[in-house]
Amino acid sequence: MCGIVGYVGGKNACEIIVQGLERLEYRGYDSAGIAVCEKGVFKTVKTVGKVAKLKELVGADGLKGNVGIGHTRWATHGGVTTANAHPHTDEKHSVVLVHNGIIENYKELRDELVARNVHFSSETDTEVAAQLLARLYDGEPVKALCRLFKKCRGAFAFVLVFGDRPNELYCVRKGAPLVVALGNGEAYCASDVPAIVEHADKVIFLNEGEICRLSASGAEFWDLDGVAHQRRTVSVDVDAAMIDKAGYPHFMLKEINEQGSVLRRALFGRTASDLIDLSGEWGITPEKARAFKRLDLVACGTSFYAATVAQRVLEKYLKVDIRVDIASEYRYRPLRAGGDTMAVFVSQSGETLDTLEALRHVKALGAYTVAATNAPNSSIAREVDDVIRLNAGIEIGVAATKTFTAQMAVLILAGLYLAKLRGELPGADEERLAEAMKDLPYKVEQTLLLKDVIRSLARKFGTARDFLFLGRGVSYPVAMEGALKLKEISYVHAEAYAAGEMKHGPIALLDEELPVVVVAPADELLEKTLSNVEETRARKAPVIIVTTENVPDVNDVAGTIKVPATEAELTPFLTVLPLQIFAYESALLRGCDIDQPRNLAKSVTVE
């Protein structure tokens, strides 16, 4: 959600921090601010709106200094105002602090401080932390931070400076991610690697309940009992080129067009000679694979739809109880999970708080846990028993596209490999699917050439205020993902239903003003889906069909998009692409902020 950047060293802190905040804009935010130490005094600039506006204000103010912290805020406690923007301080300016996350007991703490005649200048839980820390601080930073940590409930990350120690940054992590990096006589910290990747290729991801002090001479670490310990750096596979638009007008369009290469990376080393083999990265044995009676796929948002596609494919081959659940629901259920349960947590960022808490919940029950993630050093990846990497490359656009494709590929491959180890995957099906998956990258690239057809349909329905998406079987979660994409970046109300459910309510909405997008590839449910198309046409609703080349033309529809034919189980890799492009073109026509849609964040690190 919020973005944090900090710097201490010999360079212009302001330039480094603003550049870092620009690299974190994909996280979603509504205001921004920076505090820089100049001759022992911290100067703060804050604004509602984009980092570009902050950059203008900072330039006009002539802010200079070698130590500073910056922040992009996604509002939780208090409205979108300059006063609520970070950084925050106490009344005496003895602490300057930025914060990502939520302090759940902030009201209780605030009431205690108000009773002690503390005056607040904002509505935020962040200022509560700053005011409280100032009163806990007695000249010993680590001691004060340990006490603050134990008083605050929730998931959060703090980066702060004490007024009497202006050449030191302090970082505290509980739930929300923080990463630090060291240079030659300088140090950096941030919410995510892209903010600092241009300055360091080796980093340290803070552990849960860890305190770090950064200075020009290096980094020191403590646990919450104030006991010092050592940490080692790890290499990161992100470079500056990955966070460049490469000539595209938007990151989302770039990432849509990367999906052929993303699939190649997802398949590389996992499919060979018409076989599916993950033994090089996943050490699960046939004996262990056969012991499982239940497979839980747990995720949020787009990742949930990718997991649902995988469930629909795998239930044909895996003879175990396969369940897909939303992480925020899963974690509060009275689960019947244990040693015979494999729980797979699907998260692009590896930092989604609901998914992380769901993982901790089921792991405590004795389940074997696996992460399918794009971030091998993330919190979720560090806490599971095994990790299967997406290898999609960093995704900047808030609306997920290429990671949806990578998640489907990895989950299906892992599930088929599990079925193979259990002796449940027929050799003929393994060969058929492995061969078809190797052809998918080329078919993805063929499908992307349909952009002109899709653009014309987006223009035709550019003024529609509502859309209905329909699909059956593996195409139902594709319809859900298509509706989500349209909502996310075009701000158009869109609903998705299993096509057979249309008569149970949604059919009442049908008229000439409601476009209906039907995902209907060649599969065993095609005939039934086409019957739903006829019911839709009979009520004069315009129909857009996304189908495969081997399906005969359907008459009297508003538009048809035909993708290359493939095995029925694998059609989601192709049918989702026109829906992504349609959402993109619709958002472009409506003048929406495509890469940073309102109210959304790339990594949801609060409940």
Residue 146 DSSP label: H
Is 602 labeled as catalytic in the residue annotation?
yes
Tell me, yes or no, if 14 is annotated catalytic: no
Give the list of residues 6+ apart from residue 337 with CB closer than 8 angstroms, or none.
294, 296, 343, 362, 365, 366, 367
Euclidean distance between CA atoms 286 and 277, whole angstroms: 13
Q: Among all chains, which residue has been given the structure tokens 């509002």?
A: 75
Q: Is 465 exposed, middle or buried (0-12, 13-18, 19+ CB in 10 A)?
A: exposed
β-partners of residue 341 are 294
Strands 368-373 and 386-389: parallel
Under 8 Å between Cβ of 300 and 556: no
Nearest to 2 by CA among 105, 108, 77, 110: 77
Helix 125-136 and helix 106-115, axial crossing angle in degrees, nearest 10: 50
Catalytic-labelled residue, pool 402, 420, 485, 602 = 602
d(Cα 11, Cα 134) in Å, to the nearest integer? 28
Q: Which two tokens stand for residue 316?
A: 């044909």
Distances (CA, A) of 419 to 279, 297, 324, 341: 13, 15, 17, 15
- What residue type is 275 in one-letter code? L
Q: Which long-range contacts (CB under 8 A, 24 or more apart) does 42-48 make?
A: 42/89, 42/93, 42/96, 42/161, 42/163, 42/166, 44/87, 44/89, 44/96, 46/82, 46/85, 46/86, 46/87, 47/82, 47/85, 48/80, 48/81, 48/82, 48/85
The amino acid occupying position 519 is V
Q: β-strands 294-299, 275-276: how paired?
A: unpaired
- Name the active-site residue from 2, 14, 189, 592: 2
Measured N-to-C along each axis, helices 13-23 and 51-61 cross at an angle, to the nearest 10 degrees, of: 170
CA dist 205 and 386 (Å) reads 18
Angle at 195 between CA 100 and CA 403, to 5 degrees: 85
- Which residues are part of the catalytic machinery? 2, 602
